[in-house]
Amino acid sequence: MGPSISRKGVCAAIDAAETSFRVCWATLVQIRGFTVSEEFGEDVLSLQSTLIDALSRIEDQRVAIKHEERRLIKEKGRLHPTWFAKRMATLKRYGEALFEALAIGRALGDGFAWMFYERDGALIDEHLKHERQVSVPTGVGGLGERTSAKKLRGLGGQLAVYHGTTTFLRIGDVSLVDLSTLRVCGIGEMKSQRVDAEQIEVRIERIADVKTARAMYAEAMPDRAPARQLPPKMQDRFERQRKTMRTALSAADEFSKRVVDRRIEQQSEFHYTALDRLVRDCGCRRMSYAAPEPSLVMGALRSRQRGPLSRHLLGKASDMTAKVADATPWLINAMTPPHPHNGMMMGNVGASNTRVLTGEGLPFTLWSAADETIEALLFGEVIAVTLYNPGHFWRAIETRGFKLSREQPQGEVRASREVDGRPQIFRSLAGFHRLTRTQLMSLPTVLNMVDDMLRVMQNPEIRGLRVRVRPQPIWPARKSTGVEG
């Protein structure tokens, strides 16, 4: 049986990770502000290695907690019920705090990876079709993958971007970026097997982008010996993953070649200025509010905890529903005028559930809010919430001649109209709501996007075809305009 899980050990893991996170954040601040130091190049190259070490420490603690939970459940019959329930609740709280720490690290990883992926939106879509890896890889495979990713800064003269420190890169283990074009030119998969008690051999399989016409090849680490034959089960899984990588790259390339692809560029406006003021001025006794537009209310509450990250993450959890109980006057204003689809969607700005990229927006760490705002939200010093009423959006859609309906009582709202005898139907508009609720995009900007899309749909080349709209934010975010709240 391993060492007992203690609050001291969990705090030590979180606080050690925080030190690494702060180093990575300092590098991202330079990138965000285009202020480059003499050590910038090395800082960028070492960022992934620093993140991998930090996330690995956190994951080791999470694995130990899971083992402890399984052991206690197995021995439950001989344990006092009250002690058992209390201990399981404590371990759950530790696990939740560690998960939040992982989310911080991956938010930093998303910001780094996005710099090299933003020009490959179709490939991001392919990644997002697959299930997200919640935990950091462990065991022999995880050890080989993490060790190789730390040492492997490039492959074939290209930068290697490790997927395990992100939320949105889900196919393969590394992406290879041509730094001369800042385009992804390949995806690699790592396979590890133990050679002896002291050595692990890692095999890296690279699938090249079809546009580069480069052959697929394999490399062994270290390269002084040929790669060993993988066990049959591992080889079968490797072949399936290889096929997935090929399919993703081919699908992204085919999408970019479609004649009907239309790009619409517009200056987007976000409520970052209002968020900056709210976070700067909020207190720790009661929620502070701001309504930057009729459809959106934002609230912020500063943590009572002071000191290292572990205090914020292991402090008594706040019931956010209770914290916004005094928001009634703000909510009444957001609900007027009356509309059948009035409602209220609650979200957390910068919390772990909204740090996961969905494809519609920029990584949280690259928002063009003030550095101090992002840092306070990222490290749990301030909790910020959004209260969004979709009724304003639906009312605007109706003014454009659309009728709203649901195929099922609790199903998604869809909008339909006829233009020149041809039906136009919006089957899914949830992404437009997320742009305001989680990305803080102004509703007029969202509606401008809808209007541009409707104009494109009138193009004779695509009339009658199914049209997919993908908002593709362009970084640097500092070129966006903040909306005064």
β-pair type (413-419, 296-302):
unpaired
Written as tens digits, the pLDDT of the chain (485 aa) is: 456 799 999 999 999 999 999 999 999 888 887 666 666 667 777 888 899 889 988 998 999 999 999 999 999 999 999 999 999 999 999 999 999 899 899 999 998 998 888 888 888 888 888 888 777 765 544 555 556 555 666 666 778 888 888 988 988 888 888 888 888 888 877 765 665 666 656 566 666 543 433 333 333 334 444 445 555 665 565 566 566 656 665 666 655 555 445 555 667 789 999 999 999 999 998 999 999 999 999 999 998 888 899 988 887 656 677 788 889 899 889 987 888 889 888 888 865 554 555 545 678 888 889 999 999 999 988 989 999 999 999 999 999 999 998 877 777 888 999 888 888 888 777 778 888 888 899 999 999 888 888 887 777 666 666 666 566 656 544 443 344 43
Residues 8-43 have pLDDT tens digits of: 999 999 999 999 999 999 998 888 876 666 666 677
Q: What does pLDDT average to over the chain? A: 78
CB 246, CB 207: distance < 8 Å:
yes
Question: How do residues 99-151 score in pLDDT, each as one tens digit?
Answer: 989 989 999 999 899 888 888 888 888 888 888 877 776 554 455 555 655 56
What angle do helix axes 81-117 and 7-33 make, rounded to 10 degrees? 20
CA trace torsion 310, 20, 29, 159 (10° rounding): -140
Round to whole Å and give the CA distance between 172 and 164: 10
pLDDT of residue 46: 85
Rounded to an integer, what distance in angstroms lies between the CA atom of residue 303 and that of residue 311? Answer: 10
The pair of structure tokens assigned to 480 is 């966006």
Tell me which residue of 420, 426, 428 sits closest to 459, measured CA to CA. Answer: 420
Q: Do 163 and 146 touch, CB atoms closer than 8 A? A: no
Hey, which residues does 221 pair with through a beta bridge? Answer: 202
Phi first, then psi, for residue 321 (nearest 5°) are: -60, -40
Strand partners, 191: 203
Strand order in the sheet with 158-162: 154-155, 158-162, 174-178, 183-194, 200-208, 217-221
Strand-pairing partners, residue 419, are 422
Per-residue pLDDT, 129: 84
Residues 294, 292: Cα–Cα separation, whole Å = 7
CATH number for domain 1-117, candidates 1.10.132, 1.10.3470, 2.60.120, 1.10.10? 1.10.132
Range 374-379, long-range pairs (CB < 8 A, 24+ positions): 374/350, 375/25, 376/279, 377/279, 377/349, 377/350, 378/25, 378/104, 378/107, 378/108, 378/350, 379/18, 379/21, 379/104, 379/309, 379/312
- Measured between alpha carbons, how far is 249 from 76 in angstroms, rounded to an integer? 50
Domain with CATH 1.10.132 in the chain: 1-117
The residue with tokens 């991998």 is 52
pTM here is 0.80
Query: In the prediction, which pLDDT does 257 show?
Result: 52
pLDDT value, residue 438: 84
Q: How far is CA 342 from CA 329, 336, 339, 474, in A?
A: 16, 9, 5, 31
Task: Provide the residue type at 372 as one letter.
Answer: E
d(CA 219, CA 402): 56
pLDDT of residue 423: 83
Q: What is the dihedral of CA 227, 228, 232, 233, to 10 degrees?
A: -70
| Rounded-to-integer distance, Cα 80 and Cα 63, Å | 24
d(CA 131, CA 136): 14
In whole angstroms, how far apart are CA 318 and each of 93, 289, 351, 426? Answer: 13, 17, 13, 38
Spatial distance between the Cα atoms of 468 and 291, rounded to a whole number of angstroms: 32
Q: What is the pLDDT of residue 480?
A: 38
